[in-house]
Structure 1
Amino acid sequence: MPRILLAAAGSYGDIAPYTGLGARLLADGHHVALATHDSYAPLVRAAGLEFRPLPADPRTRRPDPTAPARPAVPAGRRDLLRRAAAFVKELGGGLADAARQGANTDLLLLSATTAPLGRNLAEAMDIPALDLPLVPGAPTGDFAPVVSGGRSLGRWGNRAAGRLSLRVIDRLYADANRELRARLGLPPATPRTVRRRAEAAGRPVLHGFSEVLVPRPADWPSGLEVVGNWWPWHAPDTQLPSALRDFLAAGPPPVFLGFGSMAGGEGERLGDLAVRALRRAKLRGVLQSGWAGLTAEPTDDVLTIDAVPHDLLFPRMAAVLHHCGAGTAAAGLRAGVPTVPVPVTADQPFWAARLASLGAATTPIPFQDLAADDAVARLADALGRAVTDPALRERAGDAARRLAAEDGSGTVAATVARLTT
């Protein structure tokens, strides 16, 4: 039985898709371990996968929800890089520990976050590794790097910015890479050198998003493939909580509002804002608490919930308002409902712009604009349009039908089968 180690790190959206992929590989007869943070151990084990712990769990660093509320301002680039460097510094040793657990590993499957370190493990263990990113990372003229805010710089500028982005990532991982290679007894090599060796090996990079949102750039080299999403696992008999089912049955389809792992500690402010916008738009709403702790007093027209599978909830919504993380953006599109994008940071403006350009979303409202005096009016107007504009729903429905024809996990499984036989 081939033994596979999946390694993924970050927030829920960075982890959950790999549980669905792991379950598919398990069904194909592989032994699959998923190395990730302790917060996700129940999710990993429920999918039937072996859990191996990784350090640097972002959930342990959430802001204090009892701290005084203040207008949210997304972290600047310098602050993001500082926090990311500290994160990957912790991650390197944990990956080495995870790889040593259990029997010998035949194949490493790596997320975008773990790949720069995991390639060193593959070298030390003399086994193949396969990169499985959830966002596009290779330079292209089609668009600027996904963390640059979504604004195109022209074809030449986009490619130049993409190459610069790779150099920034190499620098970000430099200290962790050096320490990990020393620990593994490998000769010194920079992250850029390790990355170039992986590229020269000729193995494909399989991207877990859909060409419905991001067509494969024609100027990408061969081997960089867009295969479609792999979706978070949940038990086939999973049902929505009874209180939520009762709420859905009590009136017309509501709208969903949630910010995932964003806006920690701002639940009271955002909950009040959401309720006021819903009342102004004369809509019912489901608020998902998330890391923000989003909440509102229970009423006949507003319900606050904890985490539930998006593929069960979103099809029953009139529209979805969210931060546009890669997974949530895809889940809304999969459900065939319009989106109101409120991107916060990192790659979220990119996905928000993609949804809007597809015609399946309203014009994005940057998260920092929710601190403005007209925030309630803007949210209410966007929610009203999302619910009533037939063109938005038609385009979202068309995208959902195209997504349903894809099998991202199956494509990965076929590649894995070739690498392990």
Structure 2
Amino acid sequence: MNLTLFAMGSQGDVQPYLALGAGLQRAGHHVRVAVPENFVPLAAAAGLEAVALQGNVQALMDQPELRALLARGNMLAINRYTSAAARAAAPVWAQQGLQAAQGADLLVTGLGGLAHSVGEKLGLPVLEAPVVPLTPTRDFPAVLLPAGMSRLGGWANALSHRLVRHMMTQQGRPAVVRQTLGLPRRAPRTRRWPTPPTLYGVSPLVVPRPRDWPAHVHLTGYWFLPEAAWTPPTGLDAFLAAGPPPVSIGFGSMGLRDPAATTALVLGALAQTGQRAVLLSGWGGLASGELPSHVYAAPPLPHSWLFARVSAVVHHGGAGTTAAGLRAGVPSVLTPFFGDQPFWAGRVRALGVGPAPIPQRRLTPDLLAGALRQTQEGALRERAAALGQRLRAEDGVAEAVRHIEAYGRALGHR
């Protein structure tokens, strides 16, 4: 088959689709990915043909206005800000998405409605494959809403999923895309193809499959790229060998409102616990300035390599980073900012592989030090190691490829 995968967002959002695309390509299919322009080199490194979608997510996250909104954790205000950026880019995305889908037999997409509009324009089926659970269920509220909503009960949980799906679809500005593509304002309700499976790049060991999901919805397991040869930066190997395993601390794609203050906070917590640490600079600029000898400042590097060499990981709770931390089999301390991050923080706590999460806006040296001490508890470490072993035995990419190939056969493709 010829497939085009649409992936938007930060690196943690995009990388699973590169893993899925690489798996499909290994299975003999031709794969093209449509990704934000700053991730085209990452796609090329995975051996995939890429079409750039206008926009640099890192540059957007670095805007002072958005940094301030992230610090407050106001999801509605964040959504308004990012929706304005999406509205401006939507006409160009429509044309670039059309280009990316040329010659495809099937479109595979995560969040957003771009692929659906492009598929309608070209007469192509679309298979949804997000990395966060979006199918309505009574078991838990939508992942982009406050976790406290679960106290309202099953009916509110199911309704919240529908509201969030509508919000996420609208964020991609489908009306602007449809107008650019010359489509009617509303998509037709008739279905031309068999019902596609909905695939979630999430492990059922982390999110148990809800009993009220339809049969065509599947949790395949996480989508990880194969391990590749990688050389650590100068001094990192020596630092790791110079003492007990350090903790890894970093906040990924989150723009920090005051990187120097956050670095000082982290150093204050480490001073209390006496632990060594690797600080990942991320997009927020953590670890700026002079650091003590028991702390190593690292540029972006593969989580799969680092997390296997540390005693615990502290991070923002993005879906990709959470998956990497759990797979490494070490305790996780989550400090969520917004979006789906509180959901993953709640799952880590419920699984007993990390202490209670600390929302970023409430993070203090004392709270972080307390959480770091908890990561050294024997029972917690044993649970984290056992879960990591089971996750490493999964092959989510192969499971997803199996479902996609089965649907391709139903469509008449080999």
TM-score for both structures, normalised by structure 1: 0.90
- Is 1:378 paired with 2:367? yes
Partner letter of residue 366 of structure 2?
A: A
User: Secondary structure at 1:304's aligned position in 2?
Assistant: strand
Say which of 73, 85, 88 aligns to 2:71. 73
Q: Residue deviations 1:44-101, cap 9 Å, x none?
A: 1011111211023221223368x9x989733423312212322432245324324325
Measure the CA separation in 1 of the matches of 2:397 and 2:191. 22
Could you say if the C-alpha distance between residues 15 and 91 of structure 1 is closer, same or farther in structure 2, counting changes exceeding 3 Å? Answer: farther
1:358 corresponds to = 351
1:338 corresponds to = 331
Could you say if the C-alpha distance between residues 70 and 147 of structure 1 is closer, same or farther in structure 2, counting changes exceeding 3 Å? Answer: closer
Deviation (angstroms), 1:184 = 2.5
Q: Residue deviations 1:25-55, cap 9 Å, x none?
A: 1212222111111211111101111121102
Could you say if the C-alpha distance between residues 42 and 233 of structure 1 is closer, same or farther in structure 2, counting changes exceeding 3 Å? Answer: farther
Answer whether contact 2:75 2:338 (CA < 8 A) is retained. no
2:120 corresponds to = 123
2:267 corresponds to = 275
Deviates more, 1:85-94 or 1:310-319: 85-94
Measure the CA separation in 1 of the matches of 2:193 and 2:348. 34
User: Secondary structure at 1:411's aligned position in 2?
Assistant: helix
Could you say if the C-alpha distance between residues 264 and 34 of structure 1 is closer, same or farther in structure 2, counting changes exceeding 3 Å? Answer: farther
1:390 corresponds to = 378
Measure the CA separation in 2 of the matches of 1:163 and 1:121. 23
User: Secondary structure at 1:148's aligned position in 2?
Assistant: coil
Answer whether contact 1:35 1:51 (CA < 8 A) is retained. yes
Measure the CA separation in 2 of the matches of 1:14 and 1:95. 20
User: Secondary structure at 2:207's aligned position in 1?
Assistant: coil
Partner letter of residue 221 of structure 1?
A: P
Deviation (angstroms), 1:346 = 0.5
Answer whether contact 1:8 1:34 (CA < 8 A) is retained. yes
Deviation (angstroms), 1:260 = 0.6
Unpaired runs of at least 5, structure 2? none
Measure the CA separation in 1 of the matches of 2:385 and 2:24. 30
Could you say if the C-alpha distance between residues 20 and 95 of structure 1 is closer, same or farther in structure 2, counting changes exceeding 3 Å? Answer: farther
Name the % identity. 37
Deviates more, 1:294-303 or 1:91-100: 91-100
2:132 corresponds to = 135
Deviation (angstroms), 1:218 = 0.7
Structure-to-structure mapping, 1:176-187, within 5 angstroms = 176-187=173-184
Deviation (angstroms), 1:200 = 8.4
Structure-to-structure mapping, 1:22-421, within 5 angstroms = 22-63=21-62, 73-89=71-87, 90-91=89-90, 93-101=92-100, 104-113=103-112, 116-151=113-148, 152=150, 153-173=152-172, 176-189=173-186, 201-232=194-225, 236-296=228-288, 297-370=290-363, 375-386=364-375, 388-418=376-406, 419=408, 420-421=413-414
Partner letter of residue 210 of structure 1?
A: S
Deviation (angstroms), 1:3 = 2.1
Answer whether contact 1:63 1:265 (CA < 8 A) is retained. no
Q: Residue deviations 1:289-345, cap 9 Å, x none?
A: 001100152432100111111111101111001111111111111000001111111
Q: Residue deviations 1:220-278, cap 9 Å, x none?
A: 122111111101456x2123224211110111000010001113353211111111111
RMSD of aligned C-alpha atoms?
Answer: 2.3
Answer whether contact 1:53 1:94 (CA < 8 A) is retained. no
Partner letter of residue 155 of structure 1?
A: G
TM-score for both structures, normalised by structure 2: 0.91
Deviation (angstroms), 1:408 = 1.2
Answer whether contact 2:69 2:77 (CA < 8 A) is retained. no
